[in-house]
Structure 1
Amino acid sequence: MSELPKGWVETTLGNVAKWSSGGTPSRKNTAYYNGDVPWIKTGDLGVRYLEEASENISNEGLKNSSAKLFPKNSVAIAMYGATIGKTSILNIEAATNQACGVAIPNASLSSIFLYYLLKNEKEGFIARGKGGAQPNISQTIIKEYPIWLPPLNEQIRITNKLDSILAKVDKAQARLNKIPAILKRFRQSVLAAATSGELTKEWREVEGLSKDTWQPVSIDDLSNRAFDGPFGSKLKTADYTDNGIKVARLENIGHLVFNSAKETFISEVKYQDLIKNTIEHNDVLFSSFVDEEIRTCLFDERFGTYINKADCFCIRPNKEMVSPEYLMYSLACKHTYEKIKKQVHGATRPRVNLRYLKSFEISLPSSEEQSAVVEKINQLFHKADKVEKQYLDAKARLDRLTQSILAKAFRGELVPQDPNDEPAEQLLDRILKERLSQQQKADKLKKTTKKRAIKAKVADKG
């Protein structure tokens, strides 16, 4: 650990701010919600200045719960689960739930400085999280958390420098964040061109063929078999085991990718009852639930032995008629999505049934052209994948850059120290003495009030 910079003092978060947390009004009372009081939850945190809450409570809900109203410029930090360490400055007067720790900084530091400091310490808070799968940090952990505090004037220099540097990082991040959407549109445009015949137009000209060779054919006619997974009593939650034969569930079926990381098992004995649901190499899996895009993918035997679960349709292509990859790409294209979305429009959980999927028609070219289509798609997708990797690498570098800049700031290396600055120790000492004096006055007033109440009670009895 580097040496404490001159003029700085080692202290705790509890000494530089008044810390508290909020609460949740009873959900059973509808009058407690949809009022005028912004109610912050951990999912709202992360932006520098929080301007609005995702949910509001009423004044009645505020009074009848442990929720509290915090002043503008308070600093909130997430204390629970995967959001631990997410931080925002409240740019509004707002209440929070109990998962948010909230600081009202004293005169030893500013809200923006505390915001940056908490961001810098995010990994430290995560490391102190307790509770297993969903670790939490408590008010006690936060208050006892050690920090290095610079002089007030140096804090101003640090925050000004951070504002300037990180604004440039944020602009770069904003430009990078556009890339996933651009890549998604590119891939969809490739699929649209491929399944309409546009992508292989030149290929047909060279081969002396026309688009007339493309014919609409149903999935049922293209497949040797299309089947849903077992449902109801045939496969219950109680049938799942810690190991054995794997089950392909909705969470495994992505858009053009099989997500093998999430595993669910059944026993060998149960598998024998459901063996007809075994998924084979190059089967096309299709999620019956249709939301923002079609989720369909190829199954690879390298994943191991799997059966499919209900709502995970399995199409076994007739390879003499259709390439499994071509079928997958045809089902994944935007045209297919738009047609199916119309079919399920208005459903609470939009999905299609197997009968509809089997009747669905795709445009089918010759086997030779299917191979040409798949080859061109894969070539273009390979280029998109390379761009995506470059994007992910650049994003990771930017994330590391932000953290390295913050770390440098809070080691005292970002701006020079000024010997004319009042040392932070003197400032903090004054503040703590003032806090102690105020607390003693409050305690004395409380005792006096209590004595008067007792005397009044005795007088009434007399």
Structure 2
Amino acid sequence: MNELPEGWVVKKLGEVGKIVSGGTPSTAIPEYWNGNISWITPADLSGYNSKHIESGRKSITELGLQNSSARLIPKESVLFSSRAPIGYVVIAAKEVCTNQGFKSVVPNKSVSSDYLYYFLKASKENAEKVASGTTFKEISLKSFSELEIPLPPLPIQRAIVAKIEAVFSELDKGVQLLETARQQLKVYRQSVLKWAFEGKLTNENVVDGELPEGWKWVKIEEAAKSLDNLRKPINKDERQKRQGNIPYYGANGRTGWIDDYLFDEPLILVVEDETFTARELPFSYKITGKSWVNNHAHILKPKEGLDIDFLNYQSYYYPFLPLTTGTTGRKKLTKNALMNAPIKICSLSEQQRIVAEIERRLSVCEALEASIEKSLRSAAVLRQGVLARAFSGRLAGI
């Protein structure tokens, strides 16, 4: 550890608090569950952004506590997930217990819970380095207890926490703005496609609900040919024996590689039996070159007079859901339903102008999205940099 400011000392975690593991009561005994004791697991912290926690998805009874290795830990204890995954951190807002996926610190008077919380937030990488295991990595109680923590006097700890939270608050505001912009781009992307197939990108004075002059409705089967009879599924084990450089496609894109091909031309693939409800991915995508397609995607080949990209973009967010059959979790778009679905077409030259304008606008979206992603990554790096400086005594203003 680098040289620290005067008044700081280096301690081991086991010296600044009591390290407590958790446990799980038998799930075969109902009397152990659904009590009034909060029981936290690492799964409860997946996507959890608050600093404190009061309860998880499950709770246990006093009987469950007595008949397991779970232990009550007091309010202000700091929970650190020690496996699956390593590195979630949260402060107990009240007395709680955990499963065996945590090493929790009950801090003594030398360290504040908030300071310990942020230190452990910065310690994920160090914890992973001393973890062991084959199926999944886990940091042992001994290894966790021996992690070193730089410890300034309590007033400095409180000043560091205040500075971290002030910087993080500003970062959070920036991240929120970036996330809002990213969502707005998603809405704009879909709006561009909606306007395109209402004819508004190439025609003035389009009347809502009416087709522009020269446009018409046709069934997909009138404008494209189905090649579903040529697709062929190959199970994963067989593909492992036939590894090659030919992309193997399914409903949501490439799912692997294979050593031979069924097609060697531009085609449109449309979801047959994957997620339709609350779907964010497009329903269709274009493939080119040599390819193999399984039976989870319909295959469309445009007939003369239909631009392939025009068909693809019109199918992206097509309202296929009402045309599907089956349960909510696994709906199916049959070939008959797809081929009888109505689409709009216009002259080939206008189709090509529409495609060009769509791609011009979407390319701007993609550039903005890339910039947003870069900024979000930079914010995450900056956050870790703030923590690194804080625990080496180099945080400005302290």
TM > 0.5 between the two? yes
Residues 153 and 376 of structure 1, relative CA distance in 2, 3 Å threshold:
same
Q: 2:277 aligns with which of 283, 286, 291?
A: 291
Equivalent positions of 1:406-417 (< 5 A) are 406-414=387-395
Give the superposition deviation at 1:359: 2.0
- Structure 1 runs of 4+ aligned residues shifted over 6 Å read none
Greater relative contact order structure (CA < 8 Å, 6+ sep): 1
Q: 2:78 aligns with which of 75, 80, 92?
A: 75
Give the superposition deviation at 1:194: 0.9
Residues 197 and 67 of structure 1, relative CA distance in 2, 3 Å threshold:
farther
Who is 1:218 aligned against?
Answer: 219
User: What amino acid sits opposite 1:247 in the alignment?
Assistant: Y
Distance in structure 1 (CA, Å) of the matches to 2:381 and 2:223: 50
Residues 385 and 279 of structure 1, relative CA distance in 2, 3 Å threshold:
same
Residues 133 and 358 of structure 1, relative CA distance in 2, 3 Å threshold:
farther
Equivalent positions of 1:358-373 (< 5 A) are 358-373=339-354
Q: 1:264 aligns with which of 256, 262, 272?
A: 256
Residues 186 and 416 of structure 1, relative CA distance in 2, 3 Å threshold:
closer
Residues 41 and 101, structure 2, Cα contact 8 Å, conserved in 1: yes
User: What amino acid sits opposite 2:292 in the alignment?
Assistant: I
SS of equivalent residue, structure 2 residue 337: helix
Distance in structure 2 (CA, Å) of the matches to 1:354 and 1:134: 43
Which deviates more from structure 2 when the two are superposed, residues 2-11 or residues 51-60? 51-60
Which deviates more from structure 2 when the two are superposed, residues 140-149 or residues 278-287? 278-287
* 1:329 and 2:313 correspond: yes
SS of equivalent residue, structure 1 residue 69: coil
* CA radius of gyration, larger in: 1
Q: Deviations over 1:186-241 (max 9, x none)?
A: 1111111112212222399xxxxx7142222222232233317445xxx3343131
Distance in structure 1 (CA, Å) of the matches to 2:333 and 2:89: 41
SS of equivalent residue, structure 1 residue 202: coil
* 1:307 and 2:292 correspond: yes
Distance in structure 1 (CA, Å) of the matches to 2:96 and 2:340: 54
Distance in structure 1 (CA, Å) of the matches to 2:102 and 2:51: 15
Give the superposition deviation at 1:332: 1.2
Distance in structure 2 (CA, Å) of the matches to 1:92 and 1:77: 16
Distance in structure 2 (CA, Å) of the matches to 1:309 and 1:104: 55
Q: What TM-score do you get using the length of structure 2 for normalisation?
A: 0.86
Residues 49 and 91, structure 1, Cα contact 8 Å, conserved in 2: no
Residues 286 and 297, structure 1, Cα contact 8 Å, conserved in 2: yes
SS of equivalent residue, structure 2 residue 120: helix
Distance in structure 2 (CA, Å) of the matches to 1:402 and 1:181: 23
Question: Percent of counterpart pairs with the same letter?
Answer: 29
Greater helix share, structure number: 1
User: What amino acid sits opposite 2:74 in the alignment?
Assistant: P
Who is 1:446 aligned against?
Answer: none
Residues 21 and 98, structure 1, Cα contact 8 Å, conserved in 2: yes
Q: Deviations over 1:363-414 (max 9, x none)?
A: 1122111111111111111111121122112112211221111111111122
Distance in structure 2 (CA, Å) of the matches to 1:154 and 1:343: 62
Give the superposition deviation at 1:79: 2.1
Residues 62 and 5 of structure 1, relative CA distance in 2, 3 Å threshold:
same
Who is 1:396 aligned against?
Answer: 377
Who is 2:13 aligned against?
Answer: 13
